[in-house]
Amino acid sequence: MSLLLLAGALLVVPVSVVGRLKALRGRRPSGLRWKPPDRVTAVVVGAALGLVGGIGGALAGALIGWTSWRVRRARRVERSRLRASAAVAEGLAGFVAELRSGAHPAQAAANAAEDAEPPAGRVFRAIASAAARGGDVEAALTDPDARPLARAWRLSGEHGVPLADVLEEVRRDLRRRIGFAHRFHARMAGPRSSAAVLAALPVFGVLLGELTGSGPVEVLTSTVAGQVLLVVGAALICVGLAWSARLTRQVVT
């Protein structure tokens, strides 16, 4: 039962806190050490913790470990995309200013790339390289974070709209999307916490049964029906966690 509490705690711990803890450990010296993927580690740890409840407990722990990893990975990807969008929007401000001052797109993109944060720097360097040799800038923007810029470049070329004006609208749209995403996350903090609490309620139900002398732990760990119910219950908890994470997730694209 402790593995369910552990999984709930992992889901509500902010990803930024985990990142800071990893940074405090510092970099390890490079060598031949093999580090298993995070998803494998999550499944193995969950199964090991649940093994005290028998084979059914190990399966339940593996399911919860996998689900915890999936939910946390989705949050990391979402935060990474938000940071990428913010970096592109920030770089576009300098890019547009350079274009309006009369700079060539290649030079303006190169100057914007110098001060831009990853991955925006890579995007602006691709623009600078393609524009400098007179290539197809839209085709060079293959990065997913550069899709709005590629569409803006095509729009400017097809309809003769000033590139600076189109890119400025892209920048404003990105800033609006980012602002909406931040407000959305702030409002979803409560529902996400509630989902984690609801996922832990079955554990408290089992503990309450033990306090009243019903002996649910013995049934779950020592009978075939109990083992099956343990796996089914864990699977239902995982489905609920995954579904609530999907409902409370908003990706800026």
Structure tokens at 84: 């990428």
Q: Quick one: average pLDDT of 155-167? A: 92
Domains of the chain plus CATH, in order, are: 2-19+36-81+188-247 (no CATH), 86-178 (1.20.81)
* 2-41 residue pLDDT tens: 444 444 544 444 444 444 444 444 444 444 466 778 889 9
Question: For the chain, what percent of residues have pLDDT higher than 70?
Answer: 85
pLDDT at 135: 87
Considering the chain, what is the average pLDDT of its residues? 85
Give the pLDDT of residue 55: 94
pLDDT category of residue 58 using cuts at 50, 70 and 90:
very high
What is the rounded distance in angstroms from the CA atom of residue 230 to the CA atom of residue 235? 9
Q: List phi, psi (to 5°) of 161.
A: -75, 135
d(CA 130, CA 87): 21
For residue 27, the 8-state DSSP code is: P
Question: Tell me, what's the pLDDT at 34?
Answer: 61
